[in-house]
Structure 1
Amino acid sequence: MIASSVSLTSLALVWKSWDKHGTVRGLHICGTLPSSICVSVSKQQIQKRVEEPQPRDWSGLIQVCSGNIQKISHNTGQIKSLLHQLGSDHETSAPQDKLQQLQHYTNQLAKETNQHLKDLGALAPPMSPSEQRQQKLQKERLMSDFSAALNNFQVVQRRAADRQKETVARAKAGSRTAGDGDLNDHLVTFEKEDEWGQAVTQSQEPGITVEDLEEIRERETNIRQLESDIMDVNQIFKDLAVMIHDQGEMIDSIEANVENAEVHVNKGTAQLQKASYYQRKSRKRMCVLAMVLSLVMVVLIIIIYQALK
């Protein structure tokens, strides 16, 4: 098995390791540890970590998405730095391996964030219109930040793919120059096991070694993985466009409900004003009637008093 180890930065890395036939043999995680320390974990441990309960409430999902977006932006900057190291006169396999690992890990973060955004859309909205507006603004800001981070990440993804292809092309050109011309047909791709076996057999010719073939095969495997990750990001962009469209419809629904509520409030206010007007008018009538009755009573009392005299 061909295992990989790198000098660590202050972020976690997760990557796969392959054997010479391109079969995934294990996963590795590097965390915030001292330099050049790598921790390998079993598939059972990885599965246990994947099966850990994910946040399902609004605040928990928002917090995880925000953290992932920050990691994506940070990792994109790290990938840019690694790209500057590729193609130099002192190039080694370490930057290539670290770039591949970091790129794939960042791609997994993007997929996880995309799923969490979908989970946000599946949550029942709050009853209060003010809370609905607040959540709408939070999600809008989150999707905007995620889209910007994805754009930057995809740019460095494509640049990394181009650099990987250039590296493979240089390796193939060197092998063709140093080895027999008959090897040209075996240095394009190694999709099948028999092609790999034939290439290894012919590598006994002077000028090319098994290590050269293994390096070329590994680079081509990395390129295929990188292209697959780029397709994943394209799909995430499509999902994000759908979510933005759905968010717009939800916003229209919220605004319509708010407008309806405002109409009802205005109608209620008008009715209250009318009721207040009628109440004041009724009070005036009662006052006038009371004054008339009082006057009649006074007149009657005077008449009765005069009659008794």
Structure 2
Amino acid sequence: METSYQGGVTYDESANNFQRLSQTVASNIKKISQNVSSMSKMVNQLQTPQDSQELRTQLRQIQNYTQKLAKDTSSLLMELMKLPTDQMAHKLERNRLNDEYMATLNAFQATQRSAAQKNKEDVKKVKSQSINIGDPFAMGSNNKELMELGDTNVRKQEQLTMQTERELLELEERERDIRQLENDIMDVNQIFKDLGQMIHDQGVVVDSIESHVEYTTENVEAGRQQLSEAANYKNKLRKKKVFLGLILTIVILIILIIIFKH
């Protein structure tokens, strides 16, 4: 059996590579979409009674995983777009996956922006409530008065200091989350740019696909008209046969009547 080649790669190998890549990309898009749905629910719970450090940790973990998955999927999709193929079905599948991925990536970035915005609001709120948060021991003249009140007030001061330190740690962690989210959002923007450039480079292919689709549509419409005309012709032929049959029957009856009379 003769094997055809395309750019040094057999059609069978190219088809197998396309199948493998398209299935992986489709699976990744589904995972990203599911993760974005989970992230959206978590973000909606921020700044509510359901908010907790555990929730924020879980949100950060799923965001980091989804970010990596989005980058990997982008690389796979670009590889798929570069894969040579003459099959119209493959070209349409490739563009469908690209559209689905872009839509999913849009939803992911919107969720990232929402999470970053809420973290910024939390940081602003903590800073406004903690006037001397940078110096937990700077209590002014009240500090001396508290020290003079004895061990009870000293313990209160220590508790206040520990609470302030916890607030500082949480504040630093949320600021790190904000910086990470902003960096991730910029990475997603870069993915959009790279894919946009890829689509621009593939513009001729897209135009070709559209022209093929239009040509196929025209052929289908022409075929439908031909079938309709054939059906009409068949009906007319059937009617003509019936009409001729009736005439022949009448003629035979007339002949028989004449014969019987004679």
Change (3 A) 1:173 1:243: same
Alignment partner for residue 36 of structure 2, among 66, 71, 76? 76
| Structure-2-length-normalised TM-score | 0.60
Change (3 A) 1:256 1:94: closer
Alignment partner for residue 173 of structure 1, among 108, 123, 128? 128
Q: 2:204 & 2:137 partners in 1: Cα distance?
A: 62
The alignment status of 1:241 with 2:174, answered yes or no, reads no
Alignment partner for residue 95 of structure 1, among 55, 64, 85? 55
Q: Residue 176 of structure 1: SS of its match in structure 2?
A: coil
Q: Going by fraction, where is helix more abundant, 1 or 2?
A: 2
Alignment length (residue pairs): 179
The alignment status of 1:67 with 2:22, answered yes or no, reads no
Q: Residue 131 of structure 2: SS of its match in structure 1?
A: helix
Deviations 1:255-298 (A, max 9, x none): 899xxxxxxxxxxxxxxxxxxxxxxxxxxxxxxxxxxxxxxxxx
The alignment status of 1:162 with 2:117, answered yes or no, reads yes
Deviation at 1:229, TM superposition (A): 0.6
Alignment partner for residue 71 of structure 2, among 108, 111, 122? 111
Amino acid corresponding to residue 142 of structure 1 in structure 2: L
Q: Residue 91 of structure 1: SS of its match in structure 2?
A: coil
Change (3 A) 1:254 1:162: closer
Deviant stretches of 4+, over 6 Å = 254-257
Change (3 A) 1:169 1:98: same
Change (3 A) 1:255 1:85: closer
Change (3 A) 1:59 1:182: same
Residues 114 and 236 of structure 1 are in contact (CA less than 8 Å); yes or no, is this contact kept in structure 2?
yes
Q: 1:79 & 1:232 partners in 2: Cα distance?
A: 18
The two structures, once aligned, show a CA RMSD in angstroms of 3.0
Amino acid corresponding to residue 229 of structure 1 in structure 2: D
Residues 161 and 223 of structure 1 are in contact (CA less than 8 Å); yes or no, is this contact kept in structure 2?
yes
Change (3 A) 1:110 1:171: same
Deviations 1:211-232 (A, max 9, x none): 2222111111111111111001
Q: 1:254 & 1:149 partners in 2: Cα distance?
A: 24
Q: 1:239 & 1:179 partners in 2: Cα distance?
A: 43
Residue 147 of structure 1 corresponds to which residue in structure 2? 102
Q: 2:113 & 2:166 partners in 1: Cα distance?
A: 27
Residues 158 and 230 of structure 1 are in contact (CA less than 8 Å); yes or no, is this contact kept in structure 2?
yes
Deviations 1:68-125 (A, max 9, x none): 1111111111011101211013532111111111112111111111100111133233
Q: Give the percent of matched residue pairs that are identical in Structure 1 and Structure 2.
A: 42
Change (3 A) 1:145 1:234: same
Q: Which moved more, 1:92-101 or 1:62-71?
A: 92-101
| Structure-1-length-normalised TM-score | 0.52
Amino acid corresponding to residue 78 of structure 1 in structure 2: S
Residue 170 of structure 2 corresponds to which residue in structure 1? 215
Residue 231 of structure 2 corresponds to which residue in structure 1? none
Amino acid corresponding to residue 92 of structure 2 in structure 1: L
Choose between structure 1 and 2 for higher RCO, CA contacts under 8 A separated by at least 6 residues. 2
Q: 2:82 & 2:68 partners in 1: Cα distance?
A: 21
Deviations 1:3-24 (A, max 9, x none): xxxxxxxxxxxxxxxxxxxxxx
Change (3 A) 1:182 1:248: farther
Change (3 A) 1:93 1:243: same
Q: 1:138 & 1:170 partners in 2: Cα distance?
A: 48
Alignment partner for residue 93 of structure 2, among 138, 142, 151? 138
Q: Residue 48 of structure 2: SS of its match in structure 1?
A: coil
Deviation at 1:164, TM superposition (A): 1.1
